[in-house]
Structure 1
Amino acid sequence: MEVKAMKIKDLDANQLDRAASMLKAIAHPMRIAILSHLEDGRKLTVTQIHNLLNIEQSTTSHHLGILKDKGVLASQREGKNTFYFLKHDSLRNIVDCVSRCSVD
């Protein structure tokens, strides 16, 4: 089944507001780094992410909270662990675009 790409002009004010909010949440170097580790359907815990990025666990939790609050990430509890993942598979395109567009 083919999904038709939406154009910005097709979005209503609420959708534009949500999109802008998500983009603002993503627009931070550490949050982009977090998203890059969650590509391809990966699910990671706070501990795994803080180890990958070599930042404090509290800082990691802060950034994950912002991304989750703005609808970029979702989480799933499994036992003692909470796994974070991209809420929408199409967010991979943003990470891909950012990485391609940032090459000099």
Structure 2
Amino acid sequence: MQHVNELKIEQLEQAASMLKAIAHPMRIAILSFLEDGNKMTVTEIHQKLQIEQSTTSHHLGILKDKGVLCSKREGKNTFYFLKHNNLAKILECVSKCAI
């Protein structure tokens, strides 16, 4: 595993960009739904969050744009999932620190 002082500036900037994208209560909730390799559609996510589907799509777009999520189209549905399984460790850390 690389240490922070071994990372190139581009890697640090990408990491900061990803963390900024995650730093929103709804986006943290979305990531928590997608832990452990779970895949969900925008409809499933917006129903769990109990917010508008357009708002959910907006948050998913930000997370995907910043490299946090990926999506895969299957028939009429698009499924979202974590791009890197290690992102679940960030959620674990946040939950422990928020006590």
TM-score band by shorter chain is over 0.9
Q: Distance in 2 between matches of 1:40 and 1:101?
A: 20
RMSD of aligned alpha carbons: 0.5
Give the match for residue 26 of structure 1.
22
Q: Structure 1 unaligned segments of length 5 or more: list them.
A: none
How many residues are treated as equivalent by the alignment? 99
Matched-pair identity in %: 71
Give the match for residue 78 of structure 2.
82
Q: Distance in 1 between matches of 2:47 and 2:74?
A: 19
Mapping for residues 1-104 of structure 1, pairs under 5 Å: 5-103=1-99
Q: Quote the offset at 1:7 in angstroms.
A: 1.1
Which amino acid in 2 is paired with 1:71? G
Q: Secondary structure of the equivalent of 2:48?
A: helix
Q: Distance in 1 between matches of 2:32 and 2:60?
A: 13
Q: Quote the offset at 1:64 in angstroms.
A: 0.1
Which amino acid in 1 is paired with 2:17? S
CA distances 1:31-76 after superposition (whole Å, capped 9, x unpaired): 0000000000000000000000100000000000000000000000
Q: Quote the offset at 1:6 in angstroms.
A: 1.8
Q: Quote the offset at 1:24 in angstroms.
A: 0.2
Q: Distance in 2 between matches of 1:89 and 1:36?
A: 12
Following TM superposition, the consecutive aligned residue runs of length 4 or more in structure 1 with deviations greater than 3 angstroms are none
